Every structure is written in C-alpha cells, then in structure tokens.
C-alpha cells in the first residue's frame, strides 16, 4: 500500500489542475454523487487511482481499510461495493479526459542543448475483466491491456490504445513507428524488444534504450582478429561503480525471436 505521505504530491498535482469544487461538480454531472454522503468523490478518485496497486485485486475489506487510513472515512463493505457502478465509471472517465485535455499544463523545462528532441516512454498495464466480456481474451479469462506512450519534455501523451489482455507489446510498438522522428529517444522495457523494430527506429534517425533478451549475442570487430564475442555481464565485473564501457559499433545477433 502506498503511504499517505507518498500520495499527497500526486493528489495535490491533480487538484492543481482540477479543483476539488470542479471535481465534485463532475461527480454530480455524471450522477456519481446524487446526495450528500460519507464518501467524497475526491477520496474515491484517490482510492481508485493512487491508493492501491490494483483495486480489482484487493478485497472490499482491504479497500475500506485503505479509505479509512487515507481519508478518515468509515464505510461498510456493502456501502463501498454499491459505489462501484456505471456512474463511478463515468466519473472516473470524465476526470481522466479532463486531465488529458489539460496536459499542456505539465510542460517540463526544455534544455536548448539537450541531446534528443523527444524522449518517448512506452509502457502497458493489464487487468482482468468480467468473464462474459469474451471479446477481450486475457491470460486467465477475460482481460484488457492498455498501451500508453508519453513524451517527457512536453508532458504529452503521444499514443494510447486498448487491446485484449494477451496482445503482444512487440506488436504494439509497430503502431507508433509512423510517428517516429529523427533525434527521438525511445525508452521501453524488454517486452517491446524486437530486432526489426529497432532497425526501423535507427533508420528514422532515432535512438533507443532497451534491455536485451538472453538469446542475443553481441560481437565486436577487431581489425586483427575479426568479430569477437562480447559479454557485458562479464565486463561489468571488471569496472568500478559509475564507470561505463563504450563498445562503439557492435553486431547484434538474435538466435531466436518469437513471432
């Protein structure tokens, strides 16, 4: 569970963009709030978006405990359960789109001497759905995966898409290839690794930072001995903390890459 101290900066960032009075009005407009009650809409928002690793994985008892700890609101399991309805969905969607429309407010200072024109961070989140939603196949029943790409300098979302829960991250990387520009830097985790995708990023004059899978072999050219295998893990044992090794031009060979 995230501590109350850790949540405060995130909550304050939301309230600096959408005031509590405006947030409560959205709750009334979406009929999430129809009469005065114990549960404030801002506390429900924090509960669903900041307080837990995954609301769907926690019991009502745990969520009530989190709510009591974070906002001093005492609510029964039955009362909290009744609030997870279509109106709550409409309220959370409205807040998301309101924040999305105001993303220009989150502009980071731009260094004129920066190495890259854009830093593109791509990641995905997955969660289960009710079993009757069979159009979205998950790893265990029904599930959905949301892909999101964020640009660091301007604080803008570049890409968002919804897929079934088993959709490949590698294939999702193909969706953003048309928007690549020279001097972009792409940051992604190992799930997006694809030799073909990295070639296309390089062809566009962009750069990337990625871990490499275990089935990847690296080779370094030596003018006297030809191509020699490189083992970064072994080389790391011989350098001091903070020291780096620049291999220059290397050849990357993937022994097997799944389709």
Using pLDDT thresholds of 50, 70 and 90, give the confidence band for residue 73.
confident
The pLDDT score that the predictor gives to residue 47 is 87
What's the pTM?
A: 0.65
The predicted-structure confidence for 155-201, as pLDDT tens digits, reads as follows 788 998 999 988 989 889 988 999 999 999 999 999 998 888 888 99
* pLDDT > 90? residue 37: no
What is the rounded CA–CA span in Å between residue 238 and residue 259? 36
Is residue 4 predicted with pLDDT exceeding 70? no
* Strand-pair partners of 126: 145
What does 194-232 look like in DSSP terms, one character per residue?
A: -HHHHHHHHHTT-EEE----TTEEEEEEETTTEEEEE-H
pLDDT tens, residue by residue, 98-150:
887 776 555 555 566 788 999 999 999 888 888 888 888 887 888 899 999 99
pLDDT of res. 5: 54
pLDDT tens per residue across span 94-109 = 998 888 777 655 555 5
pLDDT at 91: 95
Determine the pLDDT at residue 110.
Answer: 56
List of domains in the chain: 4-105 (no CATH), 107-211 (3.90.350.10), 212-259 (no CATH)
Residue 8 pLDDT greater than 50, yes or no: yes
Question: In whole angstroms, what is the distance from residue 165 CA to residue 206 CA?
Answer: 29
pLDDT averaged over every residue in the chain: 84
Give the containing element (helix H, strand E) for 129. strand 118-129
């Amino acid at each position: 569970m995230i501590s109350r101290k850790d949540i405060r900066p995130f909550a304050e960032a939301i309230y600096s963009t959408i005031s509590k009075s405006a947030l409560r009005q959205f709750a009334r407009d979406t009929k999430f709030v129809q009469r005065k009650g114990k549960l404030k809409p801002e506390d429900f928002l924090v509960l669903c978006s900041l307080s837990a690793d995954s609301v769907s994985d926690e019991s009502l008892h745990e969520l009530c405990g989190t709510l009591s700890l974070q906002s001093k609101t005492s609510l029964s399991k039955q009362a909290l359960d009744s609030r997870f309805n279509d109106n709550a969905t409409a309220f959370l969607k409205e807040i998301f789109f309101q924040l999305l429309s105001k993303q220009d407010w989150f502009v980071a200072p731009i260094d004129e001497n920066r190495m890259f024109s854009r830093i593109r961070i791509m990641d995905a989140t997955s969660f289960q759905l009710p079993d009757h939603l069979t159009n979205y196949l998950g790893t265990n029943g029904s599930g959905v995966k949301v892909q999101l790409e964020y640009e660091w300098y301007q604080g803008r979302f570049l890409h968002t898409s919804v897929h079934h829960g088993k959709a490949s991250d590698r294939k999702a990387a193909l969706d953003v290839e048309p928007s690549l520009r020279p001097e972009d830097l792409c940051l992604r985790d190992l799930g997006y690794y694809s030799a073909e995708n990295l070639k296309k990023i390089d062809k566009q004059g962009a750069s990337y930072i990625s871990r490499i899978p275990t089935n990847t072999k690296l080779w370094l050219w030596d003018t006297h001995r030809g191509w020699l295998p490189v083992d970064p893990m072994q080389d790391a044992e011989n350098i001091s903390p903070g020291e780096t090794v620049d291999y220059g031009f290397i050849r990357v060979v993937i022994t097997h890459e799944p389709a």
